[in-house]
Structure formats: structure tokens, C-alpha cells
């Protein structure tokens, strides 16, 4: 029946109930319940249209319409959660092998997690295999970070995306060399020794460079010299021959390997190597050799498919199935690997889990649940659109999950002692929030949360005095309190620190436990050091 149809049914029902005059408010509620994903503007438009249509019916027509719908029954259930991941028709015949292939030159963040969780999900659904492969063959510009394997694996594990196998391209250089040699021997590639600007000028004009025509035997000889380190960096580039007429100049004779004289690498197996394959070459070879059947990667790699297909054709291989997906952003969070890295190096960020970053570590440390990130990513589906992940949505989902396990308690940045005169000769002492008491004056009555009511009799900068005035729930300001407090330190979402005192019941908690501080929000215990409890602010 569709959204418009459903809206109209309810408009008719509403009109019957209100003398032929339906109102859009009620219809909006119904549409929202049935189609929660529809944005509010569209919902309003549809509701208004439906109301207009229903209100234009005369009494008879309205009755007829109503009876028709009455027969069909009114109660509609929200539609089954839409399946956003396309089905793999081919998976009946082929095994599903996916891979997540980061260049480990920076941390794992929400932007690249989209590829990882989708790849894992498809492998899981089809009883296939999910490979983690580090595309770490750039030892100069995008050098790998230290401990990349541990860091990526920890984060993947947290997201329930453990790989079945792990590979490092930097361990496989000899494999790429053998394919480079084959392509040179067969005349599918050439070593270009032209100055790069000259080569570029030619290729722009769709002209072949003279090196392209040098005999295969000579090419292979030169390649051997390159491997031995006898050719200087910047003087020789291996290029795959492509269609020179190709409309995208970057595709024409794309580079497959080059020389790096002083390669810096974390992998001891890669030290001392002179020839380094491009991502495009290594990744293309590996996708085939590792029997990858489904490649899921960023939209920016779509043209790389075109490049790699030349190589696949030469080698007689079948190119894997591909999904290219759009970029994601999260307003207010940094999601650029290079900027994150730069910021950390400059000391702008405290580390990879600085709460201002969109890294998986930062989300984890700050107290987000992995299911929340995954749901938000799945919700974007598989498409090439660039998407914005909404904070409000992440927080909403996370709140639902953490609320039951977060004990509610008071937290004050500055406490104030409250002396209560309970009965003749009987005094009680509590700690309250100095800030909350700023607005109260002598004579005001306040309710101590879940306790009783007191009337302020005297206020000093460090102390307040009050009389007990009853236990009945009254319409008076409610304030938090505790008998004994504990020092806590909270790292907020902007990396600033809040020091204060929390209810001593926090003392029984452990690292990883969550609390809800009145007036502040959800926090997670990050560490307990020498009796001091350090927390991270999760969200309001």
C-alpha cells in the first residue's frame, strides 16, 4: 500500500472520528510509528497530503472509504527491518572470501571500519572466510605504524570481526617480484626510465613512451639490477601497459613498482628491499592468490578496479566481485588517518584514543558499545553515497544498552557540607553540590533525592544548615547528596578534565564499570590509581 496509502487510511479514520475534519498531527504519529526511518519533513508532507485528500471527501464518500478500510483491518505493524545489504546471488556457486586490507599507516577509525564490518558480515553469512591483509608496501610516504597488527586485531576483535587469516603484503615481496618479472617477460609491463614530467606529458597526449618498446629481455635484465639495488631511486618505474586512449589519464600505464633506497619498515622481512610494488599491483595479485571473491572498499578505489583489470586480463584471472562504498563522516569527530597521525605527532591529541578522534579505540575507551557502531554502519547499507553518521543516533542507541548497567549516583565538582537539624538534639551531616545550592536562600525548602525535605536556615561559603521539614513528596527542587564521597577525575569528550567527588558507592566498582552521574551523564571507569577513580565521559 505504501506510505501515502497508509497515511490516507489513517486520515480517513481520523476524519470519521472528527466530523469529516481529519487533523495531520495524529497522522504524523502513525506514519512515524510505521516508518521510523522517514525524515520528519517528508512525514509532514505525506500527512498533510493525506489529510487534504480525506477532508475533500463528502460524507458518503468518506463513509465508503472508511468501510473499505475497516474490512482490511486497521492495525498495521512496523515494516520488518529493511535489509540493507544486497544479497550475493553468485554465492550459491562460489565461496565467499572477503578481506579488509588497510594500509596500517594510521589507526583504525569509524571510516574504514565500514569496510571491515561489511566484509566480516558477508563472510559470516555465507560461511566463508574473512582475511585481514595489511597493504603495507609504502615504506616512504605511508609508513606503517609500530604494533599495527596488535592494534588492528584488538580493535577488530572488539567489533567481533576477528579475521580467519592475516597477511602482510610486506612479507610477500618475493611473490610480487615474480609476477613483475612475468609481466615484463611477456611484454605486459615495462620499466620506464624517463623523467617523470616527460612521461606525464606524453601520456597526457596518449603517446607511448620509448621505454615501452624496449625488448622484454632488456627489461628483465634491468629488473634484476633493480632488485639488487643497482638502480637509483627515482630513475626507474615499472608500469603496466594499458590502453593509452583510456579516458582517465591516471589509468594509462599505471605504475606497478618503484625503487625506494632507504625503505623504513616495521617488518624485518622487508628491510633491505629496493623494489616496492604499488598498492594497486600488490593488492591485485593478492586478491587473486588469496582467492578473494568479494572486495568491499571505498568508492575512491573504483578507478583502481579499472587499472587492475588490465593485469587480470593479461594473467587470465577473473576479477573478484566488488562493492564500492561511500565515505562516512561524523560531525565534530576527526576521521582522517593522516590528520589524526599528524595531530598525534604534534601533540595536539593525547593519543589514538583521544576522545576527539573517531578511532575505534577512542569509541571503546569512552564507553561506546561495539554493537552501536556496527548497527550504525550496517544501517548505511552498501552504496556509493557519502553518508553522515548522526551523533544523536549513536548516543541514542548506546544509551539504551548502557542504561541498565549504569548505577545512578551524585557527583559534585565542589561539595558543600549540609548540617541538618533532624529533631531536638539530633543532627545529620550530608554532602551536597555547592553549585546547586548557589541559587537557594535561607527559608527555601528543597527535597534531598529519595530522602526527605529540608528548609535552609543558614548559608556559609563552606556549609549550609537546614531543618528537617517532612518526608512527603513536595513540588520543590530535588538535590543530590551523599554521606561520604570519593575523589574522581573525568576525561570529558573534548579531552578536558573534570575533578570532583562522587558518591562513595563508586568505591566498590571496577575498571569498565559504568555510572550515571546526575547532572553530567554516563561515564565509564577507565582506571583506578592509588585509590583515585579515573573515568571517561561517554555521553549525556
Q: Which residues of this chain interact with ligand GLU, rule CB under 6 A?
A: 101-103, 135, 279, 283, 297-298, 301
Helix (H, G, I), strand (E, B) or coil at 76: coil
Q: Minimum distance from CB of 310 to ligand GLU (Å)?
A: 16
Q: Minimum distance from CB of 212 to ligand GLU (Å)?
A: 27
Residue with Cβ nearer ligand GLU (27 or 161): 161
Residue with Cβ nearer ligand GLU (210 or 298): 298
Residue with Cβ nearer ligand GLU (47 or 282): 282
Q: How far apart are CA 469 and CA 465, in angstroms?
A: 13
Instruction: Check if the beta carbon of residue 293 is closer than 8 Å to that of residue 96.
Output: yes
Compute CA 298 distance to the chain's CA centroid, rounded to the nearest angstrom: 14
Query: Which residues lie below 8 Å from residue 463, measured CB to CB, with a gap of 6+?
Result: 416, 417, 418, 419
Residue with Cβ nearer ligand GLU (35 or 352): 352
Residue with Cβ nearer ligand GLU (115 or 433): 115
Instruction: Give all strands of the β-sheet with 275-277 in edge-to-edge order.
Output: 189-192, 237-240, 255-259, 275-277
Q: Minimum distance from CB of 304 to ligand GLU (Å)?
A: 7
Residue with Cβ nearer ligand GLU (278 or 398): 278
Q: Minimum distance from CB of 447 to ligand GLU (Å)?
A: 57
Q: How far apart are CA 454 and CA 456, in angstroms?
A: 6
Residue with Cβ nearer ligand GLU (279 or 312): 279
Query: Which residues lie below 8 Å from residue 277, measured CB to CB, with a gap of 6+?
Result: 137, 169, 173, 176, 180, 256, 257, 285
CA atoms within 13 A on the CB side of 126: 23
Helix (H, G, I), strand (E, B) or coil at 456: strand
Instruction: Check if the beta carbon of residue 520 is closer than 8 Å to that of residue 448.
Output: no
Q: How far apart are CA 337 and CA 180, in angstroms?
A: 30
| Residues β-bridged to residue 535 | 490, 525
Give ∠ CA 142-148-154 in degrees, rounded to 5.
140
Q: Minimum distance from CB of 275 to ligand GLU (Å)?
A: 19
Q: How far apart are CA 469 and CA 50, in angstroms?
A: 57
Residue with Cβ nearer ligand GLU (8 or 176): 176
Q: How far apart are CA 425 and CA 150, in angstroms?
A: 64
- DSSP summary character for residue 353: T
- DSSP summary character for residue 186: T
Q: Minimum distance from CB of 104 to ligand GLU (Å)?
A: 9
Instruction: Check if the beta carbon of residue 180 is closer than 8 Å to that of residue 238.
Output: yes
Residue with Cβ nearer ligand GLU (132 or 431): 132
The grid coordinates listed for 143 are: 609508513
Q: Minimum distance from CB of 476 to ligand GLU (Å)?
A: 59
Residue with Cβ nearer ligand GLU (303 or 348): 303
Compute CA 412 distance to the chain's CA centroid, rounded to the nearest angstrom: 33
Q: Minimum distance from CB of 295 to ligand GLU (Å)?
A: 6
Q: Is the dihedral of CA 461, 466, 471, 477 positive or negative?
A: negative
Q: Minimum distance from CB of 379 to ligand GLU (Å)?
A: 22
Q: Minimum distance from CB of 115 to ligand GLU (Å)?
A: 7
Q: Is the dihedral of CA 398, 400, 401, 403 positive or negative?
A: positive
Residue with Cβ nearer ligand GLU (283 or 293): 283
Q: Minimum distance from CB of 287 to ligand GLU (Å)?
A: 8
The length of the chain in residues reads 540
Amino acid at each position: 500500500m505504501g506510505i501515502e496509502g497508509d497515511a490516507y487510511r489513517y486520515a480517513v479514520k481520523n476524519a470519521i472520528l472528527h466530523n469529516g475534519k481529519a487533523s495531520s498531527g495524529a497522522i504524523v504519529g502513525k506514519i512515524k510509528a510505521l516508518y521510523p526511518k522517514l525524515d520528519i519533513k517528508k512525514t509532514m508532507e505525506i500527512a498533510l497530503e493525506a489529510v487534504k485528500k480525506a477532508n475533500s471527501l463528502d460524507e458518503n464518500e468518506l463513509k465508503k472509504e472508511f468501510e473499505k478500510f475497516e474490512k482490511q483491518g486497521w492495525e498495521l505493524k512496523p515494516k520488518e527491518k529493511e535489509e540493507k545489504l544486497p544479497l550475493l546471488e553468485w554465492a550459491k556457486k562460489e565461496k565467499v572470501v572477503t578481506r579488509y586490507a588497510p594500509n596500517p599507516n594510521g589507526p583504525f577509525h569509524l571510516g574504514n571500519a565500514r569496510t571491515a564490518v561489511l566484509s566480516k558480515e558477508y563472510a559470516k553469512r555465507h560461511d566463508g572466510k574473512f582475511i585481514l591483509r595489511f597493504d603495507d608496501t609504502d615504506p616512504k610516504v605511508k609508513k606503517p605504524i609500530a604494533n599495527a597488527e596488535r592494534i588492528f586485531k584488538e580493535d577488530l576483535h572488539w567489533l567481533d570481526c576477528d579475521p580467519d587469516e592475516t597477511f602482510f603484503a610486506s612479507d610477500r615481496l618475493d611473490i610480487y617480484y615474480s609476477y613483475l618479472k612475468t609481466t615484463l617477460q611477456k611484454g605486459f609491463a615495462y620499466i620506464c626510465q624517463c623523467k617523470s614530467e616527460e612521461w606525464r606529458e606524453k601520456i597526457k597526449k596518449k603517446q607511448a613512451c620509448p621505454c615501452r618498446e624496449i625488448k622484454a629481455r632488456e627489461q628483465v635484465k634491468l629488473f634484476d639490477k633493480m632488485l639488487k639495488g643497482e638502480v637509483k631511486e627515482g630513475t626507474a618505474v615499472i608500469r603496466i601497459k594499458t590502453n593509452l586512449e583510456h579516458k582517465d589519464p591516471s589509468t594509462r600505464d599505471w605504475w606497478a613498482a618503484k625503487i625506494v633506497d632507504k625503505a623504513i619498515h616495521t617488518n624485518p622481512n622487508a628491510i633491505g628491499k629496493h623494489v616496492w610494488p604499488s598498492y594497486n599491483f600488490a593488492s591485485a595479485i593478492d586478491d587473486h592468490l588469496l582467492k578473494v571473491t568479494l572486495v568491499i572498499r571505498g568508492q575512491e578505489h573504483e578507478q583502481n578496479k579499472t587499472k587492475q583489470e588490465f593485469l587480470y586480463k593479461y594473467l587470465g584471472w577473473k576479477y573478484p566481485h566488488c562493492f564500492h562504498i561511500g565515505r562516512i563522516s561524523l560531525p565534530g569527530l576527526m576521521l582522517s588517518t593522516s590528520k589524526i597521525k599528524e595531530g598525534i605527532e604534534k601533540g595536539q591529541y593525547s593519543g589514538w584514543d583521544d576522545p576527539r578522534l573517531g578511532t575505534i579505540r577512542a569509541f571503546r575507551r569512552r564507553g561506546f558499545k561495539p554493537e552501536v557502531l556496527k548497527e550504525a554502519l550496517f544501517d548505511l547499507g552498501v552504496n556509493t553515497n557519502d553518508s553522515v553518521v548522526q551523533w544523536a543516533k549513536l548516543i541514542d542507541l548506546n544509551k539504551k544498552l548502557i542504561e541498565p548497567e549504569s548505577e545512578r549516583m551524585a557527583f559534585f565538582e565542589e561539595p558543600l557540607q549540609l548540617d541538618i537539624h533532624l529533631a531536638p538534639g539530633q543532627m545529620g551531616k550530608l554532602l551536597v553540590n555547592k553549585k546547586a545550592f548557589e541559587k537557594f536562600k535561607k527559608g527555601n525548602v528543597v527535597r534531598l533525592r529519595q530522602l526527605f525535605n529540608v528548609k535552609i536556615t543558614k548559608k556559609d561559603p563552606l556549609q549550609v544548615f537546614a531543618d528537617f521539614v517532612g518526608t512527603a513528596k513536595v513540588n520543590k527542587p530535588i538535590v543530590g547528596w551523599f554521606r561520604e564521597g570519593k575523589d574522581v577525575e573525568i576525561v570529558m569528550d573534548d579531552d578536558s578534565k573534570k575533578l570532583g567527588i562522587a558518591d562513595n558507592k563508586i568505591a566498590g566498582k571496577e575498571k569498565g564499570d559504568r555510572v550515571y552521574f546526575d547532572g553530567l551523564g554516563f561515564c565509564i571507569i577507565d582506571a583506578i590509581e592509588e585509590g583515585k577513580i579515573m573515568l571517561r565521559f561517554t555521553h549525556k
